[in-house]
Structure 1
Amino acid sequence: MNNYKTIGCMILAFLLVVTGCSNNAENTAQVDDKLISDPNKVFIGFLLDTLQEERWYKDKELFEGEVDKLGGRVKTLAANGLDDVQFKQAELLIEEGVDVLVVVPHDAEVSAAIVDLAHEAGVKVISYDRLIKNAQVDYYVSFDNVKVGELQAAEIVKNKSVGQFAYIGGAESDNNAVLFRQGAMNVLQPLIDNGDIRLVFDQYTDGWDPAIAEQNMVQALKANGNQIDAVVAANDGTAGGVINALSTVGLAGKIPVSGQDAELAGVQRVVEGTQTMTIYKSINQLAAQAAEMAVKVAKGEDIATDGAVNNGEVDVPSILLAPIAVTKDNVRETVIKDGYLKEEEVYKK
């Protein structure tokens, strides 16, 4: 049964192709052929881990739009959390003649094989938002993910600086989740060391699945007699799961909970008071930066970076953008002002 499911997902993922070239299949095929054969055009492959989370639709649309403005074309494929599908999609795009692969890896380690495959074909790889580990990645564009974790924990500590804390992380297979926790612990560890905080639960969340995050939070509550004073949750999805669990014991809105990604549901919870904060990472800025880099790489132009991040094998030339903490007090000045979310959506007008 699992084999049939995997095959079905692969077929679905292969069908999930977005070129930004045309609204009908016949014209798309014609334009793709022209792109591959025309050395004056750039053809970029965009490999997404998933389109099962709200934020990645925004990345897809923004990245494709930015590449289009720069005169390139994009084919986007989403693996929906399946490593074997993502590798097959990379093979497909390389066979079709992409100049560059921009990859949001599902598994930071497993995705190293995509880099090897691309380099064998002379195709460079840009790691988008999430870093591919232990591979000769050419470039990395993301946010300062250690800073994300620091902002999350700092905002929670502003609201509650003593007591029993729980950490509900992301997927350990995602290097960003490891960095978020590292940043959070930069803030929490001194308070743990002096006895102000007890970290009574510390668990990653498989697949960033909100349902698993909820189960983890239920476990944390049971193990501590519902005596949890604050929760650092790695993103808005895990925060949603945490808040569901807290609501069953009457604690939703009574203890601080962090989040990240500024998803609509997360920002709505922030203004309602059940979630303390989220992190706004300007996807407009990320997509624009990645698109500009991809087009320049495809053309063989020089790339200006602001540092390097070690991925276990090499120091990857990187551009790291600044994250912003969003609370009830600055929603209008951040996500709404930038046009990322609409005021009537956030405030349910």
Structure 2
Amino acid sequence: MIDGRRIYMMARTLTVAGLLLAMACQKPAHTGEHPVRIGFSMDTLKEERWTRDKDLVEQRAREVGALLDIQVANGSDSVQTKQCENMLAKGVDVLIVAPHNGEVAASIVEAAHRKGVPVIAYDRMIRDCDVDLHVAHQQNKIGEMQAAYALKHVPKGNYVLIGGAPTDYNALILREGQMRILKPAIDRGDVRIISQQFAREWKPEEALRITEDALIRTGKRIDAIVASNDGTAGGAISALEAANLAGKVLVTGLDAQKDAVQRIVRGTQTMTIYTPIRPLAFGAVDAAMRLARKQHVDAPDRINNGKRDVPSILYEAIVVDRSNVDQTVIKDGYQRREEIYQ
């Protein structure tokens, strides 16, 4: 016969075991004994698109139960390196890095790996290192898309090419893609490259200066400007407006920023490339969670960074012009119709 004290002890043991099991089932996503801690190192928030990246990374981190530390370097290599060192010292499990300089950031990857922390190169490749994963849009195709659009609408004439920051590997990839498409037309003599420069830090004022110089040297005879993003497109268009040429010269762009889409519907900018940020940001956080847990990440693409073929997840981009603004950036909620059509 079981006495009352023994029944009490058995019931107490079962109750405690049940509570422990329930607590275990209610823990957030974690690695080891703590929630996954993600460090997100950003180059800048000066452009509209990067504030979108930040907001969407924050949203996805909340949804998956991760702890997120965001640091913004404001265009400084030394600041970005120091911020990443601080996040590593605080014990992040994984780093997502949008590098200011893809070559300098290799030291961040090396420092992280010494602590056993994986690194994701976000939007921009980190060069000459063993970075674990690259999450980006198809930069090699975007440059081709810009040049192909320009050639379709202006098959002959004087072209100006305005690249982004020479320290940004994406700027170089975009230029390579543009030249792959333009070279046959250049070789035939159909297209003449008047200027092909890079705008430091992707600054619109640099693009304005480049365009002003080209206008002076050609006597205002420019037919197309292949600007690598919407910021440089805006700078170029400012120069065209001062010369009474806005809307008369084809201008490309990238990022589908609000001011650029407004220019497109007004007719001063011809096109932009829409790179949906939600899948990029969500994909980076989801991949970070898996890397932190030492789980496999499905990365179907490979991009060589000078040292290795880096596993990559690449998202598609979409051409946007006046014919499809409503069906693309507005339909997706990326831009609001009432703000575009003012």
Q: TM-score, normalised by structure 2?
A: 0.90
Partner SS for 1:142: strand
Alignment of 1:78-97 (within 5 A): 78-97=72-91
Q: Work out whether 1:199 is the aligned partner of 2:196.
A: no
Match of 1:303 in 2: 297
Match of 1:168 in 2: 162
Alignment of 1:132-171 (within 5 A): 132-171=126-165
Partner SS for 2:254: coil
- What CA distance in whole angstroms lies between the structure 2 residues aligned with 1:48 and 1:253? 34
- What CA distance in whole angstroms lies between the structure 2 residues aligned with 1:297 and 1:64? 18
Cα pair distance change 1:323/1:37, threshold 3 Å: closer
Q: Is the 8 A contact 1:296 1:302 kept in 2?
A: yes
Structure 1 stretches of 5 or more lacking a match? Answer: 1-33
| Equivalent in 46, 60, 63 of residue 69 of structure 1 | 63
Partner SS for 2:250: coil
Match of 2:96 in 1: 102
Cα pair distance change 1:319/1:35, threshold 3 Å: closer
Q: Is the 8 A contact 2:102 2:124 kept in 1?
A: yes
Q: Is the 8 A contact 1:36 1:96 kept in 2?
A: no
Match of 1:10 in 2: none
Q: Deviations over 1:270-313 (max 9, x none)?
A: 11100000010010111111111011111111111112111001
Q: Is the 8 A contact 1:108 1:175 kept in 2?
A: yes
| Equivalent in 103, 109, 117 of residue 115 of structure 1 | 109
- What CA distance in whole angstroms lies between the structure 1 residues aligned with 2:181 and 2:286? 34
- What CA distance in whole angstroms lies between the structure 1 residues aligned with 2:160 and 2:140? 18
Amino acid at match of 2:63: K
- What CA distance in whole angstroms lies between the structure 2 residues aligned with 1:35 and 1:158? 50
| Equivalent in 131, 141, 149 of residue 125 of structure 2 | 131
Q: Work out whether 1:321 is the aligned partner of 2:315.
A: yes
Match of 2:11 in 1: none
Alignment of 1:1-349 (within 5 A): 39-348=33-342
Q: Is the 8 A contact 1:146 1:182 kept in 2?
A: yes
Amino acid at match of 1:279: I
1:328, CA displacement in angstroms? Answer: 0.6
- What CA distance in whole angstroms lies between the structure 2 residues aligned with 1:163 and 1:324? 25
Percent identity between the two aligned chains: 47
Structure 2 stretches of 5 or more lacking a match? Answer: 1-27
- What CA distance in whole angstroms lies between the structure 2 residues aligned with 1:135 and 1:260? 28
Partner SS for 2:173: helix
Amino acid at match of 2:152: K
- What CA distance in whole angstroms lies between the structure 1 residues aligned with 2:89 and 2:29? 13
Q: Is the 8 A contact 1:307 1:317 kept in 2?
A: yes
1:153, CA displacement in angstroms? Answer: 1.1
- What CA distance in whole angstroms lies between the structure 1 residues aligned with 2:67 and 2:165? 32
Alignment length, in residue pairs? 315
What is the Cα-based RMSD across aligned positions, in Å? 1.4
- What CA distance in whole angstroms lies between the structure 1 residues aligned with 2:181 and 2:340? 30
1:143, CA displacement in angstroms? Answer: 0.9
Q: Is the 8 A contact 1:168 1:238 kept in 2?
A: yes
1:39, CA displacement in angstroms? Answer: 2.3
- What CA distance in whole angstroms lies between the structure 1 residues aligned with 2:214 and 2:204? 15
- What CA distance in whole angstroms lies between the structure 2 residues aligned with 1:107 and 1:39? 35
- What CA distance in whole angstroms lies between the structure 2 residues aligned with 1:300 and 1:40? 15
Q: Deviations over 1:113-160 (max 9, x none)?
A: 111111111111000000011111000000110111111111112221
Q: Deviations over 1:44-77 (max 9, x none)?
A: 0000000111111100010111122112121101
Amino acid at match of 2:103: E
- What CA distance in whole angstroms lies between the structure 1 residues aligned with 2:30 and 2:298? 27
Q: TM-score, normalised by structure 1?
A: 0.88
- What CA distance in whole angstroms lies between the structure 2 residues aligned with 1:307 and 1:235? 24
- What CA distance in whole angstroms lies between the structure 1 residues aligned with 2:152 and 2:127? 34
- What CA distance in whole angstroms lies between the structure 2 residues aligned with 1:224 and 1:284? 42
Amino acid at match of 2:192: R
Q: Deviations over 1:81-120 (max 9, x none)?
A: 0010000100110011100000000001111111111111
